[in-house]
Amino acid sequence: MIRAAPLGLCVLLALAGCKSEKDFIQLARDQRAAWNETADILATIKDEKSMARAKEAFAAKLKDFEAISQRAQALGPPPEGAVARLRDEEFLIRDAFSRLTMEAERVSKLPGGEEFLKQYRSRSQNLFKAVKP
């Protein structure tokens, strides 16, 4: 199960790593897109058969998701302007994270769902640390 941290902590973690305003904003947008893609994949899961298909879909996206995490880790603190500009996108960021959390909760309650999600938890931690809502 993916748990959402309090927004304040999330924002502090998000601010931990970007060089320029443009880099930070693009990273946040890429993170949001990755969360939406992940939620889309999770939304397809209804049973063990669809879990197998979802696993294939995640495998195809893994390199993209890891690249986002690596970019986040490589960047330094963001400029003030980036933080201000992202406030305009806060609803979109929160919505994507909420949707992802909701789908993960739903999948965790399916037979085999918790085990399915476990295989992605350690990998996804870096993705979730990249940019928090």
Mean pLDDT of the chain: 80
Distance CA 59, CA 70 (A): 17
- Percent of the chain's residues with pLDDT above 70: 75
Reference 129, options 70, 57, 80, 88; nearest CA is 70
pLDDT band at 132 (very low <50, low <70, confident <90, very high): very low
Distance CA 99, CA 38 (A): 9
Q: What integer pLDDT is reported at residue 74 of this predicted model?
A: 85
* pTM score, whole prediction: 0.74
pLDDT digits (tens, 9 = 90+) for 57-70: 999 988 898 898 88
